[in-house]
Chain A
């Protein structure tokens, strides 16, 4: 029997603790849109996206109203464009990015993911054309997100691709310098990328996915923080149990919304991504959860342990609450999108090296990090390589979304506004890794990839 306390608990979570559904993401396969004529391919892509996603936004709004829970974003992910465009007779894939941008605008979604390539073992002709088109595509479009998978546990790390990504990221920052390098906020480099991730900028519709599918990303750091505050001083068993229960409740809302959206759109329900996704709003911060656990500031000694506990307890609670959990499913620690992280960086409690350590025990990686604009491309590649190594060795997803802020130095800020927030520019190591990055080739897969 539902009690008045339970009803009020749900109402409070939404009204005071920022519980929301971060995104319902419609995955759409574009594999049947390939054509030798790029314009014909783009027409097919536009028609398919607008046909399948036409009702996504109104249906999302209806569900939000009915259940009284905000659904912050409605988004679309598509088959990696490198695969769709590869057979078209063109060297420039900008036309594909512009088509995605137009389709997204037509159906009213703020981001569309899938300007992507999977190059963890090598780069095909289509992959190369896509990679070369990324700077222009992110400059000329508003809603398109790009991602590149450069490493897996099974294949190792494609260091040629890592080196290239360092240069590409610099180029993207340069071209979008008038917007503080905004293009870099829409470009993610992955190891072990999931094919059903609903969160931008890394979402795409994997090749093992159905024709179309609904995936849901939940939020809720504020709910977990309040729950953790209520058990101040208790032992770790109680703490973990409290986080588990909160994660369970948050995820149930995701499951409800996902199933409801899938049924109304007439497509299969894919997964709930149980990641704790912070927003710049005060109180909706993963860093503040860690601080509520007893750390004076996020980034100090003990942060990695606290995050490990948090991430594991969220998974245990979330896994019980949903029939299908997938995507990234771990706590996010994006600097620019988390007010607590920003404060820790400002107070010099949190450094890039500690963030790297934290990514060993949570999803997803070095996310929304601003570094000085004059950081060499090789250094960015080396930062990516470190993160990819963590993913490869630990058989987990890791990612890098880094902004070499044009014309800015440590102490300056990049300002993106909205959910992307603002980020203080963080220092990087000044010693070079250019000779290491420049070797070329692949870092072989680790011994434990030989699991057959």
Chain B
């Protein structure tokens, strides 16, 4: 996730977390919403934690017309459809906690 160290587009990045049982189509479901609203995906990584799929996407919201709150609602709705939990948060929530 080297992009987080790059401050060029500071304040525009959003971190999306997907947690839940693995199944076909999760990435497609999430990225479809992102592409439709012009969010650029900077990084995707995933792992299995305690039998759950954990996926983290870092996206650039610079050119999107959709605000964070609307994005959260759409992702949450999609997540409910797929049986996983999806949230989107401003990256500062993580940087502030883990980095000085």
Contacts and interface: CB of A to CB of B under 8 A. Distances in A.
Given A65-B69, A66-B68, A67-B90, A7 B96 contact: no
B5 interface: yes
B87 A67 contact: no
B59 interface: no
A1 B93 contact: no
Given A7-B15, A255-B96, A1 B87 contact: no
B23 interface: no
B47 interface: yes
Interface string B1-43: 1101100000000010101000000000000000000000000
A347 interface: no
B78 interface: no
A262 B5 CA distance: 26
Contact of B94 (A2, A65, A255): A2
Contacts of A62: 69
A67 B92 contact: yes
Interface string A32-62: 0000000000000000000000000000001
Contacts, number: 67
B54 interface: yes
Given A65-B68, A67-B89, A6 B96 contact: no
A11 B17 contact: yes
Contacts of A2: 1, 4, 94-95, 98-99
Interface string B60-100: 00000000110010000000000000011110111111110
Nearest to A67: B93
A6 B98 contact: yes
B1 A8 contact: no
Nearest to B14: A66
Contact of B54 (A8, A68, A253): A8
A1 B5 contact: yes
Contacts of B2: 1
Nearest to B69: A65
Nearest to B49: A8
Contacts of B17: 7-8, 11
A385 B46 CA distance: 58
A395 interface: no
B94 A7 contact: yes
Contacts of B95: 2
Contacts of A4: 1, 45-47, 54, 56
A7 B56 contact: yes
B98 A249 contact: yes
A252 B99 CA distance: 10
Contacts of A6: 94, 97-98
A289 B87 CA distance: 29
B7 to A, nearest CB: 13
A9 B17 CA distance: 12
A256 B45 CA distance: 26
A11 B96 contact: no
Given A4-B56, A62-B69, A66-B69, A10 B90 contact: no
A6 B4 CA distance: 13
A264 to B, nearest CB: 13
Nearest to A248: B97
A255 B95 CA distance: 12
Chain B CB within 10 A, most for which of A7, A67, A252, A255: A7
Nearest to A3: B1
A151 interface: no
A252 B89 contact: no
Closest 5 CB pairs of A and B: A68-B89, A67-B93, A256-B96, A6-B98, A252-B97
Interface of B: 1-2, 4-5, 15, 17, 19, 45-47, 49, 54, 56, 68-69, 72, 87-90, 92-99
11 contacts: A2-B1, A2-B99, A6-B98, A10-B98, A65-B68, A65-B72, A66-B68, A67-B93, A68-B90, A249-B98, A255-B96
